[in-house]
Structure 1
Amino acid sequence: MARVIERKVTWATAAAYLTSSGLLGVLAAVQDNARVLEPLPDSISPLVLSLVPGLITFAAGWKARHTPRPDLGQR
């Protein structure tokens, strides 16, 4: 039996990809001018940059509905 990928997984994956790509695009655009991260200490900047895609992925997965699974029956 073929397994179906849940909508939640699809949306969360798309959100992670788009967010990461967007962050990389912004950072590439301000490559020589790093004022975007200037207010943050150097030790915290990587943490903040890695949290943004994770938080948006979480939000997309939370918001998306589950794919119906009639094969599991009612509980």
Structure 2
Amino acid sequence: MSTVQQPRPIEAKVKAATVGGAGSAAVITPAVLWVIDEVWFNGAAAPDVPLPLVGLVGLVVTGVCAFAAGFWAKHTARPDLGRS
């Protein structure tokens, strides 16, 4: 008879980094792109931020926010792993 292992819970740092990355992609990145458009690309016209810059800003903002959220999240104790 085989035994089924219980799945381990997802750690808090992983959850926080996921939410931070997704939230920044949905909210913070468009806000940063709007500021860039207003400051450097004459915001009165249609958004003129070049597509490669949009991708780079999205990559940097999402990465920084995911890292920061995971860094500041509370550590999950894992006594089940033991010390090796």
What TM-score do the two structures reach when normalised by structure 1?
A: 0.68
Alignment of 1:71 with 2:80, yes or no, is yes
What TM-score do the two structures reach when normalised by structure 2?
A: 0.62
Structure 1: which 5+ runs fail to align?
none
CA contact (8 A) 1:37 1:45 kept: no
* Whole-angstrom distance in 2 between the partners of 1:47 and 1:23: 14
Aligned residue number for residue 38 of structure 1: 41
From the CA coordinates, give the structure whose radius of gyration is larger: 2
What's the Cα RMSD here?
2.8
**Higher relative contact order structure (alpha carbons within 8 Å, sequence separation ≥ 6):** 1
Structure 2: which 5+ runs fail to align?
1-5, 43-48
Q: Report the structure, 1 or 2, having the larger helix content.
A: 2
State how many pairs are aligned.
69
Runs of 4+ aligned residues of structure 1 deviating over 6 Å after TM superposition are none
Aligned residue number for residue 24 of structure 2: 19
Residue by residue, what CA displacement relative to the aligned partner does 1:25-61 show, whole Å, maximum 9, x if unpaired?
548xx6xxx425628x845443123200110100111
Partner SS, residue 38 of structure 2: coil
